[in-house]
Amino acid sequence: MVALSKSTIEQFFIKTCKPVNALTFPQIPLIDLSQPDSKHLLVKACQDVGFFKVVNHGIPLKFINELESEATKFFSSPQSVKEKAGPPDPFGYGNKNIGRNGDVGWVEYLLLDVKRDSHYNKLLSSSEQHQENLNFRCVVDDYVTAVKNMACKILEMMADELKLEPRNVFSKLLMDEQSDSVFRVNYYPPCPELQENEINGGNLIGFGEHTDPQIISVLRSDNTSGLEISLRDGSLVYVPPDSESFFINVGDSLQVMTNGRFKSIKHRVVANSKKSRMSMIYFGGPPLNEKIAPLASLLEREEDSLYKEFTWFEYKNSAFNSTLSHNRLGLFEKISSKI
């Protein structure tokens, strides 16, 4: 990351109360996917928190390590090399500017379209490190395929517990050839110049508070802390890192499809003044023309739909034309809805 003056870096600091220690506030569900009660626990976690950690997930550690190694090589490249893969439009390399609505964070990132052969064109044609980027392509494909399959398995387990037919009512949207899913690698560099701000109660914002608009998000990070989730009462909970597990977020679209039973949770990343952090997120989204609305089979007798029907294209445009913290779902809630 290009060196910046102290006054410039300080724009990334905000004053907030410190998050609750997760060890003394145990509201982050842990779910072992190999256990017979996992279906029930998945649904309970989606209803109570909208966020959970999974173990015994079946993703080969080899895929995780190889992707992290290739991503580290990319972000360690000279700035001039990285910038050949940008600016994001929306896919490609980005640095500090998040989206097109003025959001900034202490982060570098690669945003990739997961459709095969579609998300590397700029990376491969622009970079002199052609062979390295071919390797990057292979490891991303392996990783994304495995993580997508895990996400679909989780969504089908949820459908089973909710007694929905067919059981792929959610997962088929990710498996569709036109699925609008994306993959993101975030790199948060250390910022040793501003340790003083941390001591004085400031937080270096890597990625501002937001919800994810898609159906489901699958996060894996290294062992550097930084992720925080916001509970319904507004309190922030620190999420202890675990490089061998995955964290799952309910997306806005899944909240709508379950008529508010599942909760899309606000979360943010606080960067570290001493250590870098890397995270990899698969965002499972539906096809652009897919109509998103509460499932009729989930609406109980005399239960009203809380949301107006919309297409993913409409919601995606709304999301990308608003700031991170904007309540996007508010535009599609019916006046009488109470979440």
The catalytic residues are 277
Please give the sequence-ordered ranges of beta strands (E in DSSP) within the chain, or none if there are none: 13-15, 30-32, 51-55, 92-98, 103-113, 182-188, 202-210, 216-221, 227-230, 236-238, 246-250, 266-270, 277-284, 291-292, 310-311
The C-alpha atoms of residue 100 and residue 205 are separated, in whole angstroms, by 18
**Structure-block tokens of residue 180:** 């609008």
Specify the 3-state DSSP secondary structure of 180.
coil
How many Cβ atoms are within 10 Å of 246's Cβ, its own excluded? 23
Helix axes 61-75, 130-161, angle to 10 degrees: 130
Name the DSSP class of 192: G
Cis peptide before 240 (omega within 30 of 0): no
Helix or strand (DSSP H, E) at 145: helix 130-161
**Structure-block tokens of residue 152:** 């679909």
Answer yes or no: are the C-beta atoms of 291 and 327 closer than 8 Å: no
Radius of gyration for the alpha carbons in the chain, expressed in angstroms and rounded: 20
The C-alpha atoms of residue 225 and residue 227 are separated, in whole angstroms, by 6
Answer yes or no: are the C-beta atoms of 295 and 164 closer than 8 Å: yes
